[in-house]
Amino acid sequence: MTLIRRAPFTLAVVALMLVLGVVSQGLWSPLKDSSWFDVVAFGAPAFRDGRWWTPVTGSFFAPVPWGYVPVVGIFLVLVGWTELRLGTRRAALVTATTQLVGVVATAAGLTLLARTGWSWAVGLADDLDVGFSAGVTGAITVTALSFPSPWRQRASAVVAAYVLVGLVVGGGIADVEHVLGWLAGLVVARPLLGPRLGGRTRAGRVQRDRVTAAGYFALSALIVVLAAFAAGPAGGPLGKVESDDWPTGLISLTVDLVLAVGLFRGRRVWWRVAVALTVLGVLAETVLVLASAVELPQQLPLYLLMLLLDAGALALLVVRRASFRTRRHARPWSRDQLDQAEARATVARLGAGQRLAWMTTWDGNERWTSPGLPGYVAYQAHAGVAVALTDPVGDGPQGRAELMDAFVDAASAAGSGSCFFSSSPELAELGRQRGWTVVRVAEEAVVDLPGLEFRGKKWQDVRTAVNQAAKHGVEHRLVTLADEPPETLAQVRAISEAWLGDSDLPEMAFTLGGVREALDPAVRVGLATDADGRVHGVTSWLPVHAPGGQVVGWTLDVMRRAPDSFRYTMELLIAGALTTFRDEGALEASLSGSPLARDDDGTPGGVDAALDRLAEALEPLYGFDSLHRFKQKFQPRSVPLSLVVPEPATLPLVGLALVRCYLPEARARDLLAAARSASRDAA
């Protein structure tokens, strides 16, 4: 009943098709062989003979019995989807309008073209057809345009490729109707969709230009191949490639594919080659048009079509030339870098925005700025991808959003992919609004400090740790590590080196700091020491600033303990820090995110499944999941951290880039040794 209420137009048309199929016996006998066919079918002959009702009657039939399966099925799925997405009134309007335009314009166009003597048009001018395919094409065209970017461009490209390739390969009357229904859909989409169609953002415009230009040449290459298999003896409107034309066709195919790849990467040199070849094509086709107008009028429509296609491609390349400025080693972030001191001052002035923001000031990150926008984006570049570390540091939510878009645009303009790793829910939502890919990659454990008390059964483990520490004379203290005596610092370094010695891989970086980062005077370091001055464990806490510079929270970074330390060392270190921060008036403490450790409510499948497999492989080496479970002792609330990728096609490179971010010093043999170790541990 819900489907009937939401898609009455689709179901009514399908029901009418089936009823008329029974009445006409078309469900079991070919309609095109019956006396009914000329009465209901549409086409140029029907209009010449005065059968003006046929655009309506012919829409509800299929030419042969087996044709009802695709006719009814495709209408039910595609028009039904349109109706569910756009509503009944809009779906009915767009389907009926584009069907009428497709049928009438095809008949009129073929009648006019046949007068030129063009053999392809002459052959089709006497054909009749039935079916709702022009309306279905128009409906799915409008539906594709209603998607958010970048899915709008991808879905629209698929529809365009389908109708254009169908015209070249098949070249039948239905293929012409599809093209004209598609064009009608493009026209009616603007008034029908309104603001939804115009809701583009700045981000990704350069990439769209490159994909469009590359798509033209890729489609040209596809047409060269498929034209050899055109159905009719004369082929489609571009004719049929003969066997002795293959050397020329192979050269054309190769050139088109090379240009498509070069333009997709934004290479300026290939833009120049594409412009030069397209200009030559336009000039040659202009000469052919002028000559055929006098000597070969039957070829004039074909040459005009070729001229229009190449002129359109040339216009796109020239108008969007700014999108093709990439050189092989160009970097969009090569100017206006902030040094570490400037970055720290910026974080304090504008506020963190995200609890991991202090990590953006670490060595190893580059910091990109945009003229006129306060703040920066911290990133690392690997494998052709600019991997931004957490959210931009900007002036409030609006400032962060503007920096995000500007960074993506700059990376795209330089031919680089981009992504944001360990992003907050704020940035993830901005990505979803733009149609980007958002994948949950970690869970940040956040403890609210006001009113925090270790009471009740759920805090039993923490109370036990504090009580046992008092019995064993182990205490917690927060210090500035750089001010500690050399012997204390030496113990901290020894603990860190011992921890690293248990792994086949070098120390991880990116969102995981070490002793060097803990020596930052702005960082608080927790030490668990006994009466003899022995250090049992160490934690470090990064400041979280509110706008104006006030520290309102702390984020856990380093967590390490000596091999034979007091059993409850880590519980004591975190509990002691939380109590101190609470008493100082801090609002929250983040126990940070456990990379690749996610709650069970993450979306399964696809990228999520791949991340789960990666986490399983690395768990014996780094213990991400066990660390995540340990943090639950402190009753935190869970905040998702996400990977935000503007262009899903770059996901394989993003995965490789993230490995290099976390393991910048790892060599291939290190990774192989780690894999063998993990396999042994798993066994």
Distance CA 315, CA 90 (A): 33
Between CA 535 and CA 467 the distance in angstroms is 18
The span from the CA of 187 to the CA of 578, in Å, is 62
Q: What is the pTM of this model?
A: 0.67
- Say which DSSP state 478 is in: E
Q: Tell whether the model's pLDDT for residue 424 goes beyond 90.
A: yes
Condensed to tens digits (0 to 9), the pLDDT of residues 172-199 reads 899 999 999 999 999 998 888 875 555 4
Strand-pairing partners, residue 277, are: none
Alpha carbon distance 262, 271 (integer Å): 8
C-alpha dihedral, 535 to 538 to 544 to 545, nearest 10°: 30
The single-letter DSSP state of residue 587 is -
Residue with structure tokens 């090379």?
258
Strand, helix or coil for residue 211:
helix
pLDDT in tens, 206-252: 667 777 888 888 877 777 666 655 544 445 676 654 545 556 667 77
pLDDT for the residue 608 = 55
Q: Residue-wise over 483-511: b if at least 16 C-beta within 10 A, else e?
A: ebeeebbebbeebbeebeeebbbebbbbb
Look at residue 673 and tell me whether its pLDDT is greater than 60.
no
pLDDT above 90: residue 57: yes
Residue 79 DSSP symbol: I
- Specify the pLDDT at position 681: 45
Distance CA 34, CA 36 (A): 5
d(CA 450, CA 553): 11
Distance, CA of 341 to CA of 356 (rounded, Å):
17
3-class secondary-structure state, position 544: strand
Q: Mapping DSSP to helix (H, G, I), strand (E, B) and coil, where does residue 53 land?
A: coil
The span from the CA of 46 to the CA of 40, in Å, is 9
How much is the mean pLDDT over the chain?
83
Q: Which domains does the chain have, with CATH numbers?
A: 340-443 (3.40.630), 445-638+648-682 (3.40.630.30)
pLDDT digits (tens, 9 = 90+) for 481-504: 999 999 999 999 999 888 766 555
